Amino acid sequence: MTKYLYLNSRDEMFRIDISKIVYFEAEGNYTNFVLCNKLKGAVCMNLAQMQQVLSDCLKESASIFARVGKRYIVNLTYVYQIGVLRQKLTMSDGEVFSYQLNISKEALKKLKELFVGSIDGNLSTKEISKQK
């Protein structure tokens, strides 16, 4: 079932399929969003407010999004490459689009740990079930 996020600004209203959101980017008091079909938009709220809207409106579905550094909220399903040393995060679906985001080393290290932790968690669960 498709879940939609409704974002309202002074002059516009957006209805966005949450699975199509690649990332949100802070720009002062505005938050820009980028979709996988390369559509873009902006709403008049800061990134902290956007993070709150995501958790309030999407409940458990909000877990596909993660705050990365001060400027971005990314959709974890589109993370393609985490380049800590180059301070680059590549977001891609593997076919149609690819976006390069400049993010601090510290923020990328935390994001990488999130993925490595979930991989290790999955492996240990599989290993435990094989032993039984």
Q: Where are the alpha helices (DSSP H) in 29-104?
A: 47-58
Query: Which pLDDT score is estimated for 59?
Result: 86
pLDDT tens sequence across 60-101: 888 899 999 999 999 999 999 999 999 999 999 999 999 999
**Residue 63 sits in which domain range?**
4-131
CA–CA gap between residue 120 and residue 25 (Å, rounded): 30
What is residue 121's predicted lDDT score, i.e. its pLDDT?
Answer: 56
Mark residue 28 as left, alpha or beta (left: phi above 0; alpha: psi -120 to 50; beta: remaining): left
Side-chain-facing half-sphere of 112: CA atoms under 13 Å: 16
Q: What is the pLDDT of residues 14-43, one digit of tens each?
A: 999 999 999 999 999 999 999 999 999 999
Q: How far is CA 81 from CA 54, 88, 111, 112, in A?
A: 24, 8, 11, 10
Q: Identify which has the larger pLDDT, 60 or 49.
A: 49
Give pLDDT, residue 116.
84
CB atoms inside a 10 Å sphere around CB 45: 18
Domains held by the chain: number: 1
Phi-psi region of 94 (alpha: psi -120 to 50; beta: other; left: phi over 0): left
Assign residue 108 the CATH number of its domain. 2.40.50.1020
Give 20 or 115, the one with higher predicted confidence: 20
Evaluate if residue 128 carries a pLDDT over 60: no
